[in-house]
Chains A and B, each alone.
Chain A
Amino acid sequence: MAVAGEKTSPKPVSDRVLQEKPAAEKSWHEVVLQSLKRNDIRLVPYVPDRVLTTLIKNIHADPFFTTFPTAREEEAVGIVSGAWMAGMKGAVLMQTSGFATLANVLASLAIPYQIPLIMFVSERGTLGEFNYGQSLVCRTMRPVLDSLAMEYHTCTRLDEFEFIVDRSIKQAITTQAPVALILSPLLTGGKVFDK
């Protein structure tokens, strides 16, 4: 159920997988969408980020996904945790500052209950940041991930991105452990000061 966004005519998953472009021709957001699909990740709650705009739009447009905005990132974590326990896989999209709100839910729900929480974090705060607060909160992200001994990768290159995303999703599910995939401005272009 796509709450917002237009419906397109549904096709069998196998057809769509066959339509995947060679990895070298895909944009980073096509890699994310197709990797989610290939791994049967259907539930995608998110708190938006400028960099994620096209990805979010395309996920809404694809009837394979159930996708919707949540008011807070930890709400989205609760939703995908409940869904996974009931047999539906999910992933959460957010921005760096949203990740900074998650320490408690990671430490009290995702990690101790062994839930394969898959997070895509659009990285603000570095490589051209124009908002001082964003650059400060960004510095808390990796120390939090390290202090919880969580798996994470900073994704900077398109040529290795599909490998990282696909393998990380599979590892999260098989080891029942959360993973954060940090989408660097080196990969996405980031958000730059334009006014």
Chain B
Amino acid sequence: MSAAMNTASNTPARNTKIMNRFDLTSRLVAKLTNEEAVVGGIGNTNFDLWAAGHRPQNFYMLGSMGLAFPIALGVALAQPKRRVFALEGDGSLLMQMGCLSTIATLKPDNLTMVVMDNGVYQITGAQPTPAAAVSDLVAIAVGCGLANSAWAADEEDFERLIDQSLTASGPTLIGVRIDDKPGVGATRRDPVQIRERFMVGLGARQAL
């Protein structure tokens, strides 16, 4: 088998502009004015969320690969009036694809999911994922019942899809193709402080 057999490729459904994770995360964070919750998945998605500027409503996941969407779903169910964003990598989503069906069944209209798709496990040495050359994660999301799923064509389209998700009648999933650059920052790995500050940021408890 050739080493190139599963490198990322332009499938017809997935021929959008290759963007940058930190740039897109910064664009998202710049739009947040209503104490929206943001859940960053393992590794680079939360590193770039951290680098885009810490907010009390940010949650940084330091393990449990694949659980950014389930954690965000829990937040969205507990606080239906708060907008919840979740940032997940393609490799992470592949680990927990079943959650797309759960989310499609529950239909929380306050949940916006972003899949950062570079086709590789960047943080472990940029090895291609099994999906890289053949699978369309947005088509999979649609197939799971998330009708409101789309690839962002470019940065402006990403911002438009984010805005559109705020008034959507169900959950939204936005696929973005990104480059293979590592995350810009490094989250302070202090799980208890991350959790406590997030809870205070969500008004779930008072600060000590």
A is bound by B = yes
| Residues of A that sit less than 8 Å from B by CB | 1, 3, 43, 45, 66, 68-72, 74-88, 90, 104-105, 107-109, 112-115
| B63 pairs with A109, CB closer than 8 A | yes
In the complex the two chains form, is A88's CB within 8 Å of B77's CB? Answer: yes
Evaluate contact between A79 and B62: CB separation under 8 angstroms.
no
25 contacts between A and B (CB under 8 A): A3-B105, A70-B98, A71-B96, A71-B99, A74-B96, A75-B70, A77-B70, A78-B64, A78-B71, A81-B71, A82-B70, A83-B75, A84-B78, A86-B75, A86-B78, A86-B79, A86-B82, A87-B203, A104-B64, A105-B64, A112-B191, A113-B191, A113-B194, A114-B192, A115-B195
Q: Which residues of A contact B106 (CB under 8 A)?
A: 1, 3, 68
Q: Note all chain A residues with C-beta closer than 8 A to B87.
A: none
Chain A residues, Cβ within 8 Å of B105: 3, 68
Q: Tell me if B74 and A83 are in contact (CB < 8 A).
A: yes
A43, B74: Cβ atoms under 8 Å? yes
Q: Which residue of chain A has the shortest Cβ distance to B80 in the bound complex?
A: A1
Query: Cβ of A78 and Cβ of B70 under 8 Å apart?
Result: yes
Q: Does B28 contact A (CB under 8 A)?
A: no
Residue of B whose beta carbon sits closest to that of A111 = B191
B77 to A83, Cβ gap below 8 A? Answer: yes
Instruction: Report how many A-B pairs have Cβ atoms within 8 Å.
Output: 130
B127 surroundings in chain A (CB, below 8 A): none
A71:B78 contact, CB within 8 angstroms: no
Instruction: Please name all residues of chain B whose beta carbon is closer than 8 Å to the beta carbon of A77 when the two chains form the complex.
Output: 67, 70
1/0 per residue, CB under 8 A from A, across B73-98: the answer is 11111110010000000000000111
Closest 9 pairs between A and B when the two form their complex, measured CB to CB:
A108-B63, A71-B98, A82-B74, A78-B70, A88-B78, A78-B67, A83-B74, A86-B78, A82-B71
Instruction: Say how far B99's CB is from chain A's closest CB, in angstroms.
Output: 5
How many of B's residues come within 8 Å of A, CB to CB? Answer: 40
Tell me if B141 is interfacial: C-beta within 8 Å of chain A.
no
Q: A75: which B residues are within 8 A, CB to CB?
A: 67, 70, 96, 98-99, 102
Q: Find chain B residues with CB under 8 A from A45 CB.
A: 102
Task: Determine the distance from Cα of A83 to Cα of B194 in the docked complex, in whole angstroms.
Answer: 15
A74 to B96, CA, bound (A): 9
Min Cβ gap A22→B in Å is 33
Contact A85 B75 (CB under 8 A): yes
Q: How far is the CA of A85 from the CA of B102 in the complex (A)?
A: 20
Residues of B within 8 A of A83 (CB): 74-75, 77-78
B101 interfacial contact with A, CB 8 Å: yes
Identify 20 new A-B residue pairs, CB closer than 8 A, beyond the known A43-B74, A84-B74, A104-B63.
A70-B98, A70-B99, A71-B102, A75-B96, A77-B70, A79-B71, A79-B102, A82-B71, A83-B74, A85-B59, A85-B204, A86-B82, A87-B202, A87-B205, A88-B74, A90-B74, A104-B64, A107-B63, A112-B62, A115-B195
Inter-chain contacts of A74 with B (CB < 8 A): 64, 66-67, 70, 96
Which chain B positions have C-beta within 8 A of A114? 191-192, 195
Residues on A with beta carbons closer than 8 Å to the beta carbon of B70: 70, 74-79, 82
A43 to chain B, nearest CB (A): 7
Q: Interface readout for B164-208 with A: 1 if CB under 8 Å, 0 if not?
A: 000000000000000000000000000110110011001111000
Q: With A and B bound together, what is the CA distance between A71 and B102 in angstroms?
A: 7
Point out the residues of chain B lying under 8 angstroms from A43, CB to CB: 74, 77-78
Nearest CB on A from B80, distance (A): 9
Q: Of A3, A81, A107, A113, which one neighbours B74 at CB under 8 angstroms?
A: A81
Tell me, in angstroms, the Cα distance from A1 to B99 when the chains sit together: 18
How close is B184's CB to chain A, nearest CB, in angstroms? 23
B60 to chain A, nearest CB (A): 10
Q: Residue B61 at the A interface, CB < 8 A?
A: yes
